[in-house]
Amino acid sequence: MRLGVIVSDFRNMDETLSRLKADKLGVIFVSNGVYHTATKEGGKKSPLLEKSPNMYVLTEDLQSRGFSEVQIDSRVKPVTYSDLVDVIFNDYDKTIWI
Amino acid sequence: MATVKLGFIVKSLPYKTEASRLALTHAIASQTVEIYLEDGDMVEPVVAFIGDGVLNCLKNQKAMNMYGVTSLEQHLKNSLLLDMRVLICKEDMEKLGLSEDALIMDAEDIGGETKANIAPFSEIMKEMDSTNHLLFF
């Protein structure tokens, strides 16, 4: 299964995400989930960035919160709303929101 | 003559919920209650950002451009324009790797003269202790 996981919170996401297994796992950071991609807590990057090689962040939510694309982790691909529709429908069989 | 001091403590992240926006709009609106008070009585709001709440203070928020909603940046600048005391927790800033340059520290671009203060949590605790009413958002 190709599973897309939408992450919209900054806290308490790790446990659920770590238990999910898929042939292809995609992590899509939206809303307050974008903080995972652009902040370093205690000098460390978010552990969620280790969960998948396929990671995306919604640029509209990123910029609303005062970040620019140059501030995000290099492993994360910035996507717009219209890009995100393509990602969800073309690259994943199922999408969940945690 | 008496002054009622209100503490608005913001620990929530912006936008996903209305909590931090409500803190700032309520803090600003609290000053209007003076029309119902006796002459000389005053209301003094203080806003403090702690924990993840310090992320409300990031500069360059594009919420209006992206979603057509007022940004927390604008609300914070309006607070400073009204000479409200604004505190940002130093320890939480450092924990999240935020520098002073990244934060909204003044409202000079809209004519404000008051600046936000970066303060250790101990100072914020003293401020909370000195308030008559404490509201957490």
Range of the domain at B25: 3-136
CA–CA dist B79, A60 (Å, integer)? 26
Average pLDDT, chain A: 96
DSSP string, A29-63: E-GGGGHHHH-EETTEE-GGGGS-SEEEEEHHHHH
User: What DSSP state is assigned to residue A88?
Assistant: I
Statement: residue A23 has pLDDT above 90: yes
ipTM: 0.86
Taking CB atoms and an 8 Å limit, are A64 and B71 in contact across chains?
yes
CATH number of the domain that residue B16 is part of? 3.40.1260.10
Residue that has been written with the tokens 């203070």 in this structure = B57
Half-sphere exposure of A78 (CA within 13 A, CB side): 14
Those residues whose C-beta lies under 8 Å from the C-beta of residue B102, and which sit 6 or more positions away, are A66, B58, B59
Tell me which chain B residues have a C-beta less than 8 angstroms from the C-beta of A40: 96-97
CA–CA dist B128, A8 (Å, integer)? 31
Domain A2-97, architecture per CATH: 3-Layer(aba) Sandwich (3.40)
- Considering CB atoms only, which of A8, A40, A65 is closest to B61? A65
Indicate the domain borders of chain A. 2-97
Task: Encode chain B (137 residues) as per-residue pLDDT tens digits.
Answer: 689 999 999 999 999 999 999 999 999 999 888 788 888 889 999 999 999 999 999 999 999 999 999 999 999 999 999 999 999 999 999 999 999 999 999 999 999 999 999 999 999 999 999 999 999 99
A contact residues 23-52, partner B, Cβ 8 Å cutoff: 31-32, 35, 39-43
Phi, psi for B49 (deg, rounded to 5):
-105, 125
What is the pLDDT at residue A31? Answer: 97
Q: Work out how many domains chain B is built from and give that number.
A: 1
